[in-house]
C-alpha cells in the first residue's frame, strides 16, 4: 500500500492498493487500525449462530455436558480407563473444555475466508482479521463453559490449588497452536475447497489421539515419546493439572508443545500474509 507522490495541500491523495508482501510494521499498523472489525465480525457471528434455535446460547453449556456424559460412559464405565482419582465426568469435562476451544478455533479459522468471500473480494483489510475474530467467539463459549466447570469443582470438592492460576497459559498456547493451523488451512482453502471438508474428519482422529477423555498414563510406556509428538497431549495434561489437580505434565514435553505452538502461530500469520494478495482473484 503506498500513496501517489506529488500530492500537496488540499484533498487527500488517492490511496493505491497493490498486491504483494507488506512490511511487517505496516501490516501490524493495518491490523491495529482494523481492530474494531475483529469485534464487529465476532458479534455478527454470535448473533447469527443461535438465530432460530429454540435453546439459543444454552447450547454452549449443553454441548460439552452431553459430550462429557457420553465420553465418561464409553471411556470410564465401559472401557474403565483411569482418571487419576477424579470423577470421570469431571475429568472428561475438563479435557473437553480445553479441546473444544482448540478444535473450534481450528474449524472457525479454516472456514473464515470462504465464509466471508464477499468481504475478501471487495474490501481491503488485513485478512488476518477474519481468523482472529473467530477467537473472540471461542473465548466467549469458553467462559460460559468454564462457569459449569467451577460448579463441578465445588460440588465434587476438588481444589487444584496454585496450579489453577496457570490454566490461562495453557489455554493461550492451545489457541496459538489452533490459530496457527487454522490460518494456514484458511489460506489453502481459498483455492482448494476440499480443506473445510477434510478438517472435521481430521479433528475427530486428532481427538482420539489426544488425552481428552482418558489419561495419558493409559498409553504404554514404549509409545509415550511418539504419543507426545502431538503438541496437544502435553497442553491437555497441563490444563487438566491446573483445573482438577491431576499429575503434573512432563516439563520436556510441555516445553516442546509451547515451542510448537508459538512457531505455528507465527508461521500461520506469515503464510497468510504472503498468500492474501491473491485471495480476491481466486475466492
- Chain segment 206-265, per-residue pLDDT in tens: 999 999 989 998 899 899 999 999 999 999 999 999 999 999 999 999 999 999 999 999
Measured CA to CA, the distance from residue 2 to residue 26 in angstroms comes to 10
Taking the CA atoms of the chain, what radius of gyration do you get in angstroms? Answer: 21
Looking at residue 241, its pLDDT comes to 96
Measured CA to CA, the distance from residue 170 to residue 240 in angstroms comes to 10
Looking at residue 21, its pLDDT comes to 64
Give the pLDDT band of residue 201 (cuts 50, 70, 90): very high
Mean of pLDDT values over 139-151:
92
> Is the pLDDT confidence value at 5 over 80?
no
**119 dihedral zone (left: phi>0; alpha: psi -120 to 50; beta):** alpha
Q: Can you read off the three cell numbers belonging to residue 182?
A: 487454522
Looking at residue 17, its pLDDT comes to 58
Mean of pLDDT values over 112-119:
86
Looking at residue 179, its pLDDT comes to 94
> Is the pLDDT confidence value at 138 over 70?
yes
Q: Which parts of 34-156 fold into alpha helices (H)?
A: 35-49, 59-71, 88-115, 117-122, 129-155
Taking each helix axis from N to C end, the angle separating 129-155 and 167-189, rounded to the nearest 10 degrees, works out to 150
DSSP codes joined into one string, 126-141: -TTHHHHHHHHHHHHH
Give the pLDDT band of residue 46 (cuts 50, 70, 90): confident
Measured CA to CA, the distance from residue 96 to residue 168 in angstroms comes to 15
> Is the pLDDT confidence value at 1 over 50?
no
- ∠144-147-148 over CA atoms, to 5°? 100
Q: Phi first, then psi: what are they for 155, rounded to 5°?
A: -70, -25
Side-chain half-sphere of 184: how many Cα atoms within 13 Å?
A: 12
H/E stretch holding 2 reads strand 2-3
> Is the pLDDT confidence value at 7 over 60?
no
Helix (H, G, I), strand (E, B) or coil at 37: helix
> Is the pLDDT confidence value at 274 over 80?
yes
Looking at residue 171, its pLDDT comes to 96
Amino acid at each position: 500500500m503506498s500513496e501517489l507522490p506529488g500530492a500537496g495541500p488540499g484533498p487527500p491523495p488517492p490511496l493505491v492498493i497493490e498486491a504483494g508482501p507488506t512490511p511487517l510494521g505496516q501490516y501490524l499498523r493495518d491490523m491495529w487500525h482494523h481492530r474494531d472489525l475483529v469485534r464487529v465480525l465476532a458479534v455478527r457471528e454470535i448473533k447469527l449462530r443461535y438465530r432460530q434455535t429454540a435453546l439459543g446460547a444454552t447450547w454452549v453449556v449443553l454441548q460439552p455436558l452431553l459430550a462429557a456424559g457420553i465420553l465418561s460412559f464409553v471411556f470410564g464405565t465401559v472401557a474403565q480407563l483411569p482418571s487419576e482419582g477424579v470423577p470421570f465426568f469431571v475429568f472428561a469435562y475438563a479435557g473437553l473444555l480445553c479441546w473444544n476451544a482448540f478444535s473450534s478455533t481450528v474449524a472457525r479459522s479454516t472456514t473464515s475466508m470462504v465464509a466471508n468471500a464477499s468481504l475478501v473480494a471487495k474490501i481491503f483489510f488485513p485478512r488476518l482479521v477474519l481468523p482472529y475474530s473467530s477467537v473472540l467467539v471461542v473465548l466467549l463459549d469458553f467462559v460460559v463453559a468454564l462457569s459449569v466447570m467451577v460448579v463441578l469443582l465445588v460440588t465434587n470438592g476438588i481444589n487444584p490449588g496454585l496450579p489453577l492460576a496457570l490454566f490461562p497459559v495453557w489455554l493461550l498456547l492451545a489457541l496459538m497452536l489452533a490459530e496457527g493451523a487454522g490460518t494456514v488451512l484458511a489460506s489453502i482453502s481459498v483455492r482448494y475447497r476440499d480443506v473445510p471438508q477434510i478438517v472435521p474428519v481430521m479433528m475427530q482422529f486428532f481427538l482420539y489421539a489426544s488425552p481428552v477423555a482418558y489419561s495419558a498414563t493409559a498409553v504404554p510406556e514404549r509409545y509415550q515419546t511418539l504419543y507426545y509428538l502431538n503438541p496437544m497431549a502435553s497442553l491437555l495434561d497441563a490444563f487438566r493439572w491446573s483445573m482438577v489437580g491431576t499429575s503434573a505434565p512432563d516439563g520436556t514435553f510441555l516445553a516442546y508443545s509451547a515451542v510448537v505452538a508459538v512457531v505455528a502461530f507465527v508461521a500461520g500469520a506469515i503464510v497468510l500474509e504472503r498468500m492474501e494478495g491473491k485471495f480476491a482473484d481466486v475466492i
